[in-house]
Amino acid sequence: MNVKPNIGIVNALIRITVGLTVLAWSTSKLVKRPWRDSYLMMAMLGGMKVAEGIVRFCPLTALFERGQDMAQEKRKQEGNHNNDEAVEEILPYNPS
């Protein structure tokens, strides 16, 4: 898997800032109530956002871009397929 930056500098700085804020909030709440698992989960999510900002790679953005590329290739193949056969679609008559 080729990991190259897929988010910009400003986006990375925002992710680092928000991630550190969520991490600080969740750890302060976790000190008061260590039995709550939701604060631990929020700390992990905040840490993940900080890591995404430092590395400048977001897996969800990469997945979305890959899906867009696959859809574009599929449309291109369907377009070439229709031109090769030279089949015209006959649309039904719609008087309205």
Examine residue 26 and state whether it is found in any structural domain, yes or no: yes
Given a cut of 70, whether residue 88 has pLDDT beyond it is no
pLDDT in tens, 48-69: 999 999 999 999 998 998 899 8
Structural domain count, the chain: 1
Examine residue 65 and state whether it is found in any structural domain, yes or no: yes
Examine residue 93 and state whether it is found in any structural domain, yes or no: no
Examine residue 61 and state whether it is found in any structural domain, yes or no: yes
Q: What is the pLDDT of residue 84?
A: 46
Domain containing 67: what range? 9-83
Examine residue 1 and state whether it is found in any structural domain, yes or no: no
pLDDT in tens, 16-45: 999 999 999 999 999 999 999 999 999 999
Mean pLDDT for all residues in the chain: 86
Q: What is the pTM of this model?
A: 0.71
Examine residue 92 and state whether it is found in any structural domain, yes or no: no
Contacts for 46-52: CB closer than 8 Å, 24+ residues apart: 46/18, 46/19, 46/20, 46/21, 46/22, 47/19, 47/23, 48/19, 49/15, 49/16, 49/18, 49/19, 49/22, 50/15, 50/16, 50/19, 50/20, 50/23, 51/19, 52/7, 52/12, 52/15, 52/19
